[in-house]
A = this chain, B = another copy of it.
């Protein structure tokens, strides 16, 4: 009501400025960013709509301007997690000298990502949460990532690095689940005397694919 207050932009108690007209979508990004980092640091159990709103600096109901409910917000986090993981593994694959090395690089990067963001990785596979994503049967998040793995396995078979009669899809299922277990076991049992993750992944891939063992003998 003072002249001074009239000249200042709208500011909530947290110091956040209300977005200008037409820029309301910025809040959506802010919400995702904060949800993402909370997921990484705190895990699913500490992820709440009110908590995220608090950190962003808005009132809780403002979340509903961009997400119909909490599940859809979490689903967006999961999707973004898979996008980043896909980008990271593809980048690692590009530098590989041959298909076998590419496959190993993909798997090592996959595991590194999971172990660097353990809470996010857990959320990405938390069975019952992203309710809104379960309707899409074949478009499940991470399916693209898996398809890339199948293709990498196929390239190995094509150049004769493994028996040609093997099924790439089946082999990729075995390799994906194995690396999945490798990281989840590490996350949930941190005191177990684990060997180096990179060495374990390489050995797992080598044994699964039936590569001539290179490193470990």
Question: Interface of A with B (CB < 8 Å)?
Answer: 43, 45, 118, 122, 125-128, 134, 137-138, 140, 142, 163, 165, 170, 173-174, 176-182, 184-185, 187-189, 191-192, 194-195, 200, 203-204, 207-208, 210, 217
Could you list 16 A-B pairs, sorted by A, with CB under 8 Å? A127-B187, A137-B191, A165-B217, A170-B203, A176-B181, A176-B185, A177-B178, A177-B182, A177-B184, A177-B200, A178-B204, A180-B185, A184-B184, A204-B208, A207-B207, A207-B210
CB distance from A169 to the nearest CB of B (A): 8
What's the number of copies of this chain in the assembled complex?
Answer: 2
Complex Cα spacing A176 to B177, Å: 12
With A174-B200, A184-B180 given, is the CB distance from A191 to B140 under 8 Å?
A: yes
